[in-house]
Every structure is written in structure tokens, then in C-alpha cells.
A and B are shown apart, each in its own frame.
Chain A
């Protein structure tokens, strides 16, 4: 069911994208796009453009789908005890792993077929502009992306002793593959084709398909799947190959304070975000010099998109993206606090002499610290990368341009806090707002979104640095900070008056709600 909708949504994206491309200019190519999307084969055909525009994002996303699917049906089932229940019936030891991999293969096939089908449908609608072979090659690539990382996750599930660890390992594998391909493509290195996502793009849909890469993918599948079964036969149900560790029997006194405990629980998440965004910033900064020579080939749309000064425009765009991503870090920490409530730990903790606001304040403080740390790390990475590649003496300005998004990112984080404090049921909706905020800088101008719609994103109100004459950054930033403070104050009031746990596990389910 879930897959059906995922696939349908994907189909929707494709038809949209294709329709959009026919009316948008055909020759927009920038090296930054290579970073995100890949090498771009046959971008002088409609099919090539569709694959190029949508394809680069789709491959890692469906790869993650494969990871989560396999972990959910192997390691997570063992964690919850479900595997023990089925394992006691007449089911072979290796059956759950085999079934999960089959399911992933089937899902991959389904997603691939849907992708190919969507392209074919679009082709029929546009009068056969998308050749059948290309559609099939693209579908094949998508299906293989799911399968390739499903088998990696299967190995991770054997090694790890917990579903979260296995999911994390699988996600890191996808991220590394994407990063390796991105760096290689930007530098135009041939070894881009030697990365798991790179050889899928090597299938070259719509650009003289090279089916031979399928063989390499199949070898990859065989090796990893074999390894998963081999490892699976050498461990106990419910245990990983990694022995469960033991740890200290006492806790430092700081954990007995809400701030200390929240920091202890969130510090790893914050460190991961900061490190990840630093590397991302470094990569973007390092390739900036490569972006500029392509500027000559940009058309008016891209010109308008990046603003007059292309270098500044590029870094401005990076700054917004980092602003939104650091808000994601903040949101993750706020929803972690919500998880404390739904898991029942909050009840236990608040039965002590600890005011709700003190607990809530600690959560918000750590979330905002996480936002600041990730944003600064991203800015530092971008600035260092820029210094290395361009050395144009704009290091501090670059850092400042990224850091200027702190009030906007804080405002989004406090919006999530307010929702969790007052209407936890609706809180996940804030992710939609974040997606919108990311879409506005990336495609807002290209899609010719009306100004008010773009202005809905708080990140649109952060002044662009370097400042043009007469542009006062102070009050816009102050206004954003004030908005964040207002949201926080409202959250504090709502938080004090709400029943805990809201929409509780053991409360009677209210019909009709």
C-alpha cells in the first residue's frame, strides 16, 4: 500500500517534471547540478533532461527505501520479538532474510516499472519524444538502486545489534555512494562510474543505452546478498555479530539535571549533523571554482535564479540550503523530545520534582544549540572550501552569510516546538513547511512562483550577504528572532496546560477523531 502511493507520487513528479521541461529552456547545465544530479548524458533530448533533472535525486531516495524495507523486516522484527514468534513456527532460519530481500527486489521492480511507465505515459502524451529503450533503462536503474542498497542493509542488519544502528549504517552507505559520485562527477573523473550510484547512471537512458553496467550491478547484488546469508548463519536470533557491550554502572551527576540529560541524549545527533554539514559545505565550497566557467552557458532563467552576481548567487543559494538543513537538525531534536513523551519516559521523569517548563526549556535549548552548531559547521566548511578553491578573500563573509540564517532556522525550530507543545498530533506537518522552504530557493524562480508564496518561507527574509548599499540586515534578523521568541513564549503557555501524555498510549481511543 505504502509502495503503491510512493510509486504514484513518483509518477506524478515525472509527468510534472516532463511537462515543465518542455516549456523550460532545454540547455540549462551547471556544474552544481552535476554535483546533485550526476553527469547528465544526452541532455539535448527531452528524455535526457527528465532523467537528469529528476534522476539524480530519485536514485538515493529509492536506495534509502530499499535500506529501510530490509531492516524493518529483519532486524526490527527481531527487536520487537515478531521474528521470535514466526521463527518458532515451521519457518527456516534464513527465510526472513530471504523474504525481506525478495520483498525489496519486488518493490524495486515495482518502483522501476512505475518510473518507466510514468515516462512511457508521458511519452505517449508528448508524441513519442521519450524512446521506449530509454524509459526501460531508467526504470532498470531505479530498480537496481533499490536492490543494491537493500543487500547492503541486509549485511548491516546481520552485524548490528539494533535496528537503528542497521538503518544508520545503510543510510551512511547511501550517503557515501552519493558523495563519492558527486565529487567524481564534478571533477569529471572517470571513476564516477565505479561508484554504485555512478554505474547506474552509466546505463545512459536516452543517450545510447549501455546495458553492460547491469552485469556489474548483478555482481554487486550477488556478493552482498551472499555475505548477508553467510553472516546470518553465524549469529543468534536477536543478537548481532557485534557483541552487546556493557557500560558504566553509574552516571555523572549532570545527567540528573534536565539540561545535562537532554544534552547527553542529543549530543551524538548534533555531532552527526555538524560533521555531515561541514563535509557538505566543504564539498560545495571546493567545487565553486568549477561552477563559474559554466556561467557563460547559463540562460536568463538561471541568471534570474542566482541573481546578478553569479558567485555571490551560488554562495547565497548554498547558505539558504544550509539554513534549511540546520532547521532540519533542530526539528529532529524537537521531535526527539516528543518521542520522550510518546515512549512514556516523560511521565516517569515529570513524576519527580521537575517543572514542565524546566524540562521543556532544556529540550528547546539543546535543539537550538544543535541548530547553531550545524549551521556554523556548514558555514565553516563552505568558507574553508571557498578559500581552498577560489581564495578570493571572502572567507569570513561566506561564514557570515550562512550564519545569518540562524534566526530563520530558529524560528522554524520554535514553530515545531509550539506544535509539539500545543497540538502534537499536527506537529509532523512542519516538515511540509521545511520542504517548501527548501523548494523556494531551489526552484522558486524557475517555476515562477508568485512572490507572496516565496515569502512564506522565513528563509526568504534573511538578508543576502554581502550586503548591497542601503540594505539594513539588522531589523530583518531582529524581526525573525522576535518571531522565534514569540513562538517560544506561546509554546511555553500551551505546554503548561496540556494533558500529558497527549494522545497517550493507554488513554481510551476517541472514536471519530
Chain B
């Protein structure tokens, strides 16, 4: 955890960095349902930001707003200082996205799907493609319709990680991966962060976030309930309960285990 906090510190030496992602009081409604209810989220350049919350808390909706796929009803949204809805195409040159539930073209092979996704991102050179295929043990000659969920996830991960970007948006990227592949994934994300890539990591897997993230935001019912550096969060949780070692799980459960208490 020490090396991760220094990573954050090294950035604070620079001129006051503008946050890569900056959401203030964002509201998104679907008919009578309010998916996001005044969400605040700030992700600094170069950090791995864990984005945590139970199912239906609004994580995927937030990501769709950030990608300009949906439009917020109210609030301020900034991605690299620009409007994600209006400047979607220009902003998307700087990011790569891994959806939570990857569906691929059934009649294409895995390798073809990777090349297609890279091509649609205007990536000409994908220096890490072959290396990543090997690390994730993915056979690129098989047709996508015969892939398991984990293999489809790997295709999206290879396509996202093969070329350099400024921002990685990962929506529960490891669902369906086995523990070995999850380990590979964590190495890859850590390497990306070392190259200076900012990462928004939405996840259920607390151990993964605890291992990777510099800062975390916990959301519940479309609102951020806690945000801050991971170490601070753990320290504050540890004060309350001296019998158990402080863990992200205890922080998480303190927010969600007792309904009605924010």
C-alpha cells in the first residue's frame, strides 16, 4: 500500500492537476426512477480510483454518462475538462473502455474482434497485443460465439490494454475471470498506472480494489457516501473496531449492511 500512496504523492508535486473526471451533483432519471441523485465523483490524473457500490447503485449509469452514451438531467460533468456528451468523439480518442458484460460479434474470431475494436478506436499500432494474448492465455483463432464469459472479458481487456491511453474505464472488468487471470489483470492495471494512465475501476471485488486503488468512492442509491484515499478510509474504519484488522470490506459493510443508515 505504501508504493501506491507515493504514486499519488508524486503527482501532487506537479502544478495543481486538473481532475480527469469531475462530476458535481449529477442527476439522471429514467422515467420515475432516479438512478443518480446528486452524484459527486472526482478522479485525479494518474490515480487508480476504485468505484464501489452494490448492484443498482448507479455505477454503470455513471460510466454511460461519462462515455456520452446517455445525457444527465442535471449537474456538471467534466472529462479532461470537457463535456462528455458534446465532445464525445474527441474525448474517446484518449480512453479505452471495458464493459461489465462483454458481448462480441459471434461470427468473428477473438483476434478479429480485438483488431476491430482497436481499429474503431483509430489505433494503428498495438504494441502489447501479442504479449497480452499470451499473458491472458487467449486463443485468438476461436470464434467469439464459442467463448465463455471469461474469454469474452479477456478479449475486451486485451483490446483496451494493447495500446496506450490516458484513461481506462473499467466496469467490473474481472467478472468471469479465474483467480490466475485476475492476478494477470491486476499486474496489467498496475503497469498501466505506472505508465501514467488514469484508471476508473468499478468493481465488486473488494480485495482487488484494496490491492490496486489509491483512492475510492463508495456510492449508494445514486449518491456518493464516502470518498477519499484508501489508507484514510481504512484508518478511520480501524479506529472503530480494534478487534479486527481494518479492511475495505469492513468499510463497505458499514455503509451497506444496515439499511437506512447512510
Contacts and interface: CB of A to CB of B under 8 A. Distances in A.
What's the interface size class on B, roughly? 35 or more
B93 A347 contact: no
Interface residues of A, number: 43
A347 B99 CA distance: 8
A349 B111 CA distance: 16
By secondary structure, the A interface counts as: loop
Main secondary structure of the interface of B (DSSP, over half): mixed
B109 A248 contact: yes
A347 B112 contact: no
B30 A343 contact: no
Contacts of B92: 350-354
Nearest to A499: B70
Contacts of A258: 120
B105 A345 contact: yes
Contact of B108 (A244, A251, A257): A251
Contact of B33 (A345, A354, A356, A508): A508
Contact of A353 (B115, B122, B141): B122
A302 B160 CA distance: 64
A250 interface: yes
A110 interface: no
B161 interface: no
Interface string A251-272: 1010111100100110010000
B111 A248 contact: yes
Interface stretch (B142-150, B191-199, B202-210, B241-249): B142-150
A251 B97 contact: no
Contacts of A353: 89-93, 121-122
Interface string A218-243: 00000000000000000000000000
A343 B103 contact: yes
B104 interface: yes
Interface string B49-62: 00000001000110
Nearest to A351: B97
11 contacts: A247-B108, A248-B109, A249-B140, A250-B140, A251-B115, A256-B119, A256-B120, A264-B108, A344-B99, A354-B92, A499-B70
Given A251-B119, A353-B121, 18 more contacts: A162-B106, A246-B139, A247-B143, A248-B109, A248-B141, A251-B111, A251-B113, A253-B119, A347-B67, A351-B67, A351-B99, A352-B92, A353-B91, A354-B120, A497-B71, A501-B69, A506-B60, A513-B31
Interface of B: 30-33, 35, 56, 60-61, 64, 67-71, 88-93, 95-97, 99, 101-122, 139-143, 145-146, 156, 169
